[in-house]
Amino acid sequence: PVPVRPVPQPHPKDEDTLVQMAEHIPAGMRTPMCAHCNMVIRLEFVLQHIMINSLPLCLFCIHSLFSDGCPEVINALKQTWHVYCFMCAACQQPIRNNTFHLEDGEPYCEQDFYSLFGTGCHGCEFPIEAGDKFLEALGYNWHDTCFVCVVCCASLEGQTFFSKKDKPLCKKHAHTVKI
């Protein structure tokens, strides 16, 4: 008798991944959508996706369907987001209901926004925000209310001033103080 050969099976590595399946979908429809809530699945979660009946689920739905957690959503940038999907473009941590800032249409948590794009005041070290009055002196940026004599705190904005070791001084204290 002729020996029966097993039918060759594809190696698991050869099976289509979610990304490979997307290559066969027209370009305008490639965004992976959660089969449960129809919201976009962010790229970083696609790599760790779970599929039910060959349909992808986002982490939020996985959590809400398979755990006790209650579903939470937030509204930001004229969209509804899962709490864990609305993330800082820099640190990739959920912003939740915290303050965030936009740069080129991307959300950033407050800390990353100021460290990447912000200008700090040399006097108080707090950020100089849009609309704040500020000035440049001694090679630094200052809030207008922070540019004062280090001895008497007199405002130096628009005044003649002196400096010692990058510290602003009024006329009165310029030659009397050792720093």
Position 138 scores a pLDDT of 92
Among the listed ranges 84-93, 155-164, 170-179, which one has the minimum average pLDDT value?
A: 170-179
- pLDDT single digits (tens) 101-128: 888 889 999 888 888 887 888 988 888 8
- pLDDT single digits (tens) 71-81: 677 888 888 88
Residue 148 has pLDDT above 90, yes or no: yes
Which range has highest mean pLDDT (14-23, 26-35, 114-123)? 114-123
Position 47 scores a pLDDT of 44
CATH number of 120-174: 2.10.110.10
- Mean pLDDT of all residues in 129-150: 90
Position 127 scores a pLDDT of 84
Residue 40 has pLDDT above 80, yes or no: no
Boundaries of CATH 2.10.110.10 in the chain?
120-174
Burial, 60: exposed, middle or buried (Cβ in 10 Å; 0-12, 13-18, 19+)? buried
Position 44 scores a pLDDT of 47
In sequence order, what are the beta bridge partners of 169?
A: 162
